[in-house]
Amino acid sequence: MILRGASAHTWDHLLRCSRVRLLIFALPIWLFVWFAFWSERLCSLWGVDTPDRAEYGAVVLRPDNERAQVQAALARQTFYMCEFFVQHRRACRNQYSCLIDRLQRQPSGFLREPQRSCWRTLEASLTDPKASQLVRMCYSSNSTRSLDVDTVLRVSEVNGCVRGNRHLWMTLMVRNEARLLVENMLYHLSLGVERFLIYDDRSSDNLREALRPFVEAGVATYLPITGNMRQLQVYDTAVQYARDQRVRWLGVIDADEFFVSTRDVCIGAVLEGVYREHAPNISTVAVNWRFVQPDVVLDTRGLFQAERANFSVGLANLHVKPFVIPDRVGRFRTPHSNAQRRGRYAVSPGGRAVRGPFLEPPDAEDTALLHFQAKTPVEWIRKRIRGKPDIPDAELMNEKGEFDNDDALSLLDEWPGFEEWEAPPDHPLAHQLRWNIARLYRAWESR
């Protein structure tokens, strides 16, 4: 009893001591901070993404995906790369050449085993409020655009293109490209596309959510697909569906391809002009690519990809992509070309016959598809993470030095130099592209 009383007296005395009381009440807080720090929960509470979440939007987990571990390794390294870029962007004035030079001067394995990575991002966010958002935008394909049905409808009417009679549809097959796909759809919607058939190849980003305003506005159809090696089958299915719906023209493109022409702002008018000028028996207008120079800054300076690439229209390329009359074509032979029904044939915008997926020399002076293939180094690596839809994973694993490389720094060596992609200065297509984007902004911003 005496000892128990003494212990109670001592305990009461200790509680009356302010320092001890502070220590007792602060101990749970310190334990929580310690746990949150080492488990990276603190980063999540702060709103900062962690390397584990970098796999989201990059890795397609399925039983037959032999590349999942490679994808995951590249996704984590991509997150660390973005984190590094954000930390150094002010010193480098946002220039990628400077950022990449600093990154490649780091010790070997820097991107593979970084220490307390989220803590570095937390530290950067204290001095740069945009840091967390920039890291997320850098490595993620999630769309962050705020859209509603009214905005979509305003954009569709901005240039007064022919609409409402199933004149021009487009089909795109995508995987983890939500951000770029939204820009692509808004851009082509303003140029007269009436409906998009979007085939989702097992995306793990927020693609379906991003498409909701387009679906509700009646200008998009969302179609999930499964299985490997489906690209040509998807295109054939889209053509058959458009044929059944009596669609006049169907464009078959990718999310990183943007149509531009000095002939007319409306895509349908350009196609009809080619049809009238050259022959009533054509089935396809095959449009050459122009390879656009890569982006040179980390920040998203504008809403659209064309702005981020300084309105470059790049160099003409011999690849073509088809805009078909559905009831005049057969099955797709490659992602760039399809069979023609008897007596029908494909032409370029200038009227040259096109046989197969190439036209050399290219016919891309007044009409082209701008192919934003490279974009930023991070997006280049993300493209390697996704792989190709028309090549099976097992085959990719056997291609030495391509797609099976899990070292992000070595993949940076594939990123093309700016000089190789520069277009002639002051190209007429660049002026038209600026005009298209300006009109799109007018519809976007009018409330």
Q: Are 408 and 342 in the same domain?
A: no
Q: Are 175 and 303 in the same domain?
A: yes
Rounded-to-integer distance, Cα 6 and Cα 3, Å? 5
Q: Are 296 and 435 in the same domain?
A: yes
pTM of the predicted protein model: 0.87
DSSP 358: B
In angstroms, the Cα distances linking 193 to 181, 228, 346 are: 14, 29, 21
7 inside domain: no
Of residues 193, 196, 191, the one with CA closest to residue 159: 191
pLDDT at 2 (0 to 100) = 45
Rounded-to-integer distance, Cα 385 and Cα 405, Å? 9
* Segments of 86-155 assigned E as strands: none
C-alpha Rg value of the chain to the nearest Å:
27
Q: Are 117 and 202 in the same domain?
A: no
Which residues are bridge partners to 200 per DSSP? 174, 224
410 inside domain: yes
In 3-state terms, what secondary structure has residue 238? helix
- DSSP labels, 156-219: HHTT----SSS-EEEEEEESS-HHHHHHHHHHHHHTT--EEEEEEES--SSHHHHHHHHHHTTS
Residues 6+ apart with CB under 8 A from 441: 303
Pure H helices in 304-413:
305-308, 377-386, 393-397, 408-412
Q: Are 343 and 386 in the same domain?
A: no
Q: Are 401 and 430 in the same domain?
A: no
Q: How many CB atoms lie within 10 A of CB 407?
A: 15
Range of the domain at 123: 48-140+377-415
Rounded-to-integer distance, Cα 248 and Cα 324, Å? 8
Q: To which residue do tokens 């409402």 refer? A: 164
| Residues across the chain | 447
Contact between 436 and 187 under an 8 Å Cβ cutoff? The reply is yes
Q: Are 192 and 223 in the same domain?
A: yes
pLDDT at 36 (0 to 100) = 57
428 inside domain: yes
Rounded-to-integer distance, Cα 276 and Cα 90, Å? 54
pLDDT at 145 (0 to 100) = 86
Rounded-to-integer distance, Cα 234 and Cα 430, Å? 32
Mean per-residue pLDDT of the chain: 83
pLDDT at 1 (0 to 100) = 47
Count the domains in the chain.
2
- The CATH code of the domain that includes 213 is 3.90.550
Contact between 329 and 283 under an 8 Å Cβ cutoff? The reply is yes
Residues 6+ apart with CB under 8 A from 145: 179, 182, 183, 210, 303
Contact between 433 and 370 under an 8 Å Cβ cutoff? The reply is yes
Q: Are 302 and 367 in the same domain?
A: yes
Q: Are 236 and 353 in the same domain?
A: yes
275 inside domain: yes
pLDDT at 295 (0 to 100) = 81
C-alpha dihedral over 401, 406, 409, 410, to 10 degrees?
-10
DSSP 294: P
Residues 6+ apart with CB under 8 A from 36: 42, 45
13 inside domain: no
pLDDT at 109 (0 to 100) = 84
- DSSP labels, 217-237: TTSEEEEEE-SSS-HHHHHHH
Max alpha carbon distance in the chain (Å)? 112
C-alpha dihedral over 231, 236, 240, 245, to 10 degrees?
40
359 inside domain: yes
Q: Are 171 and 274 in the same domain?
A: yes
In 3-state terms, what secondary structure has residue 435? helix
14 inside domain: no
pLDDT at 373 (0 to 100) = 87
Which residues in the chain come in under a pLDDT of 70?
Answer: 1-26, 29-65, 114-122, 124-125, 229, 300-302, 389-404, 416, 418-420, 447
What is the torsional sign of CA 100, 102, 105, 106? negative
23 inside domain: no
Of residues 275, 327, 395, 308, the one with CA closest to residue 166: 327
Q: Are 84 and 174 in the same domain?
A: no
Q: Are 265 and 384 in the same domain?
A: no
Cis amide bond preceding 361, omega within 30: yes
